[in-house]
Amino acid sequence: AQSVTQLDSQVPVFEEAPVELRCNYSSSVSVYLFWYVQYPNQGLQLLLKYLSGSTLVKGINGFEAEFNKSQTSFHLRKPSVHISDTAEYFCAVCAGTSYDKVIFGPGTSLSVIP
């Protein structure tokens, strides 16, 4: 079975500072990895995904993530955050090719302080 851990439930950061949101997973098989963002009163939006190839993945809104197989991690980073980045961020892993195989992490609430 797969599982996802997001170690930080809340991350406050000042505007224009860098941020890293941590995601670790466990799985006995190869997985595919995703980061989603959820703004208040909205659904989820895909930020980026890792299926194969380069371990550094670039997504929308200036975010990027690096897949580290040996550390089973997929941390999300942004070099300079904006107020509009305040949202809930979910890491997800998938060990198959269908949505019922997707396991979501508990989420990290990012608060950008002006």
Partner 1 sequence: KAGVTQTPRYLIKTRGQQVTLSCSPISGHRSVSWYQQTPGQGLQFLFEYFSETQRNKGNFPGRFSGRQFSNSRSEMNVSTLELGDSALYLCASSLSGGYNEQFFGPGTRLTVL
Q: Interacting stretch for partner 1, rule CB under 8 A, among 21-29, 62-70, 78-86, 98-106?
A: 98-106
By C-alpha distance, which of 36, 37, 23 is closest to 67?
23
What are the C-alpha distances in Å from 107 to residues 55, 90, 95?
22, 5, 19
Query: Would you count residue 30 as binding partner 1 (CB under 8 A)?
Result: no
Answer for the pair 110, 6: CB distance below 8 angstroms, yes or no. Answer: no
Taking the least distance from each CB to partner 1, the nearer of 6 and 81 is: 6
Query: Would you count residue 89 as binding partner 1 (CB under 8 A)?
Result: no
- Looking at 32, 61, 72, 95, which residue binds partner 1 (CB under 8 A)? 32
Q: Interacting stretch for partner 1, rule CB under 8 A, among 17-25, 42-50, 59-67, 72-80?
A: 42-50
Look at strands 108-113 and 10-14 and give their pairing: parallel
What span, in angstroms and rounded, lies between the C-alpha atoms of 32 and 8?
Answer: 21
**Which residues contact partner 1 (rule: CB under 8 A)?**
32, 41-46, 49, 51, 90, 97-100, 102, 104-107
